[in-house]
A and B are shown apart, each in its own frame.
Chain A
Amino acid sequence: MRILIIDDDEQIRILLRQVMEWAGHEVIEAADGREGMHQQRKQEADLVITDLIMPEQEGLETITLLKREYPLIKIIAISGGGRIGPDAYLPAAQELGADRVFSKPFDVRELATTVKELLANG
């Protein structure tokens, strides 16, 4: 399966790539929402893991766009907390169409299990 990882933090992308590749997936990366949409249009991914706070394009906007253009796509939103507290963005992300939400720091094994479940159900 193809996984699109959108996060402005390169090390997070490296980590997630590692986890996903070990799970046997193909990984594409983007540093923000705009690039993420671009990548998705080029080489459709089955599942997107996106951060919520990024420059250029907000995660919430990206989620809305993705779900509109690719209704079947699975989305996992990750929030780093920050100004409003860890959980402020996540309910909004879920409302906008994220299938699962994680709050940083999260357990990578849990994330891997979730990806597996979502792809199996799709």
Chain B
Amino acid sequence: MAEIHALVVDNSPVIRKIVSYVLEAEGCIVQVAEDGLEALDCIACHRPDIIFSDLIMPKIDGEKLSYIIRNTPELKDIFLVILSGVALEDNDNTLRLGADVCIAKGPAATMSMHIKAALGKYLTNQRGGHSVEGLEGLYSREVTRELLVSKKHQEIVLARMNEGVVELNHAGRIVMANSAAVELFALPEAQVLGQSLAQLMPLSAEERITEWLAQVAAPVCLLPLVFGYDDPILLENRQITCNLVPVAEDDTFFIVGILQDVSRRKALEQRQRQLEKELQRIQKLDAMSLMASGIAHDFNNLLTIINGNVEMARYVCRDDKVNSLLSESAKALDLTVQLIRQFTTFSDNFLPQKSQVRLRPLIDEVLQRDLAGRPSISYHLSTGEEELAITLDPALVQQVFVNLTKNAVDAINGAGRIKVTIDRVDGGEEAARTGQLIANGDFVRVAFQDSGPGIDPALLDQIFDPYFSTKQKGAQKGMGLGLTIVHAIVKKHGGFVWIDTPKGGGCTVYLYFPVQGGVVTDPRFFEGKGRGRQVLVMDDEEMMRLINKKMFEYYGCKVTTATNGEEAVALYREKLESGDGFDLVLLDLWVNEGMGGLEAARRIIALNPEATMVAISGDGSCEAMQRYAEYNFVAALAKPFPIDAIEDIVNRFL
């Protein structure tokens, strides 16, 4: 008969001695271990044929040891005998551990009889015992029962925690891991237990843990090791904070570790930061837009004068030297004019002229034209949505691709290629995939890729900022407004833009245009504020009627005119009865013949208490104009009023 290798695991030296003695007498080669962890090391050195294990032990206990043995393919056939001191109190649980034989600890004689019997069962391969042996003469102890209940309770608490909790022995090996911790390591529990924590970690963390363990051990110095929120461990794509606290125990120590997955919080924060950045960018653009609209008028006036005088000076001057100096001035003026034009694009009030546009031909045209003189740069345009037309301002969107092409050409700086891909994507899915702030809804995505060296990722945050440029500044190289304009225009279309610049070069600008609706930053663009709304204008002056009509029509309203109050009230009633109704009524307060605006307003409000009416008068200081709200008006306009005032009315009331 071949020799039987047996392993005896018990933290009580007396029990180890008794069991070893019996087994050795039966001719076995016996190894002993004090606890589950030591047992695992013994097993790793030499696989035993049969294991006699205690249940309640420090470090890895008998229950976990059984679990590991039964769940490790190389070990699962080992004949397992449980020697339980709490068999009577924990009978059901003991039988569930998958042991082949369970023996209750009792008087040495009884135990030794059952140990021999177990050996006999091993030799005859009788596995999977269903009862606990050696219970005769034992009695259940209430204290033990209560301790077991308390232990179970603690296990439940640990199991339910969101934080991973691990216990390490002095050498940094895991002897306990709750389910959250096991989940973080993404390994089966059987592989986690007994494993060194450092080895489960990525290299940088491994080094720190190993170094720290050496410091703690010699001489015992109980300083914790913290991988905090700002330097988390990257484990299986998750960011994990880890707090390792050494706890003294007799003349050695063990370690309690708390692990926490902070990826979600980090991701939320990242998103928050992105949102803030985006908001700042929008605020910056808003400020620019305000400034642009403020100075554009004055600038244009000044430029007209400078430009005009330079032109005339050139016309009258016959001196070549002076002429060439003037022509340089004229060139700079030209660039200034272009700059001002670009500025006005930022203006909130810049009205895009929308129409149904097919992107492919539009982009194709720009690329063909702007790359015409550059045979060294090739381009490829592909699309999955050949015929898809979306609502855009073609001139503005063309500007987007002019700017992108210019950037690409500068980036390529020689030979290379531009690749443009047009697809239709779902905003929500795209946001999840890229982590960008793309709204929900149906979008057309244009990926504009160049083969240049790419952009330093550290600069990506600033790339859309006004006056930011990676190129040398100056009139020839651009003003650092190219991408700012791209950003502003795409935003005006309710779209989104971001730039991806992978390591190893190349740079892709992703543009998203909503197929319909989407998030619209400028509601007038898609909704066409005022578009299709019904406006009634009452004024006795033909010219004022005409101007008002033209102005409101400019904003897409349908305009009906009346010459006096009677006519206006009749038209209002007629329209209301047809089930349609006017959205806005402008009433001149004083007319030469017939009913004035005040009386007309009273009658209209009687027909429809919700009517939106605006008072107009040449005399802005009269009482009705000053206290228009008391006369059922929502606003009052003193003649003459500029088109801005009409715009304001459209924005506020339509």
Contact = CB atoms under 8 A, between A and B. Distances in A.
A99 B307 CA distance: 24
Interface stretch (A11-19, A40-48, A114-122): A11-19
B293 interface: yes
B297 to A, nearest CB: 3
B301 A9 contact: yes
Interface in B532-554: 543, 546-547, 550-551, 554
Nearest to B544: A61
B208 interface: no
Contacts of B546: 64, 96
B634 interface: no
A69 to B, nearest CB: 10
A53 B550 contact: no
Interface residues of B, number: 35
Interface stretch (B138-146, B344-352, B411-419): B344-352
Interface in A43-89: 53, 56-58, 60-61, 64-65, 68, 80-86, 88-89
Interface string B331-366: 001000100010010010111000000000000000
Nearest to B305: A11
Interface in A9-40: 9, 11-12, 15-16, 18-19, 22
A15 B308 contact: yes
B575 to A, nearest CB: 25
A31 to B, nearest CB: 14
Given A64-B547, A106-B304, A88 B297 contact: no
A105 B543 contact: no
Nearest to A96: B550
A109 B643 contact: no
Contact of A85 (B301, B303, B350): B350
Given A12-B301, A83-B293, A95-B550, A109 B351 contact: no
Contacts of B301: 9, 11-12, 80, 104
A22 B313 CA distance: 12
B547 A61 contact: yes
A84 B543 contact: no
A1 interface: no
B543 A22 contact: no
A58 B640 contact: yes
B567 interface: no
A6 B547 CA distance: 19
B216 to A, nearest CB: 70
B349 A84 contact: yes
A9 B293 CA distance: 18
B554 A15 contact: no
Contacts of B298: 80
Given A53-B642, A92-B551, A107-B311, A85 B304 contact: no
Given A11-B305, A105-B304, A82 B296 contact: yes
Given A61-B640, A84-B643, A105 B351 contact: no
B308 A65 contact: no
Contacts of A86: 296, 300, 341, 344
B309 interface: yes
Contacts of A85: 344, 347, 349-351
A86 to B, nearest CB: 6
B647 interface: yes
Interface string B301-325: 1011101110110010000000000
Contacts of B337: 105
A67 to B, nearest CB: 10
Interface in B616-654: 640-644, 647
B297 A80 contact: yes
A104 B547 contact: no
Contact of A96 (B303, B547, B647): B547
Contacts of B312: 15, 18-19, 22, 108
Given A11-B305, A105-B304, A108-B308, A82 B640 contact: no
Contacts of A12: 301, 304-305
Given A22-B312, A89-B643, A105 B303 contact: yes
A95 B546 CA distance: 10
A16 B547 CA distance: 27
B512 to A, nearest CB: 24
Contact of A64 (B307, B543, B554): B543
Interface in B193-231: none
21 contacts: A15-B309, A18-B312, A58-B642, A58-B643, A60-B551, A68-B543, A82-B300, A83-B297, A84-B347, A84-B349, A84-B644, A84-B647, A85-B344, A85-B350, A86-B300, A92-B551, A96-B550, A104-B300, A104-B303, A105-B333, A105-B337
Given A61-B543, A64-B547, A105-B307, 15 more contacts: A11-B305, A15-B304, A58-B642, A80-B298, A81-B300, A82-B293, A82-B300, A83-B347, A89-B643, A91-B554, A92-B550, A92-B551, A92-B643, A105-B333, A106-B304
10 closest A-B pairs (Cβ-Cβ)? A82-B297, A104-B300, A105-B303, A85-B350, A105-B304, A108-B308, A15-B308, A80-B297, A80-B300, A104-B304
Interface of A: 9, 11-12, 15-16, 18-19, 22, 53, 56-58, 60-61, 64-65, 68, 80-86, 88-89, 91-92, 95-96, 103-109
Interface of B: 293, 296-298, 300-301, 303-305, 307-309, 311-312, 315, 333, 337, 341, 344, 347, 349-351, 543, 546-547, 550-551, 554, 640-644, 647
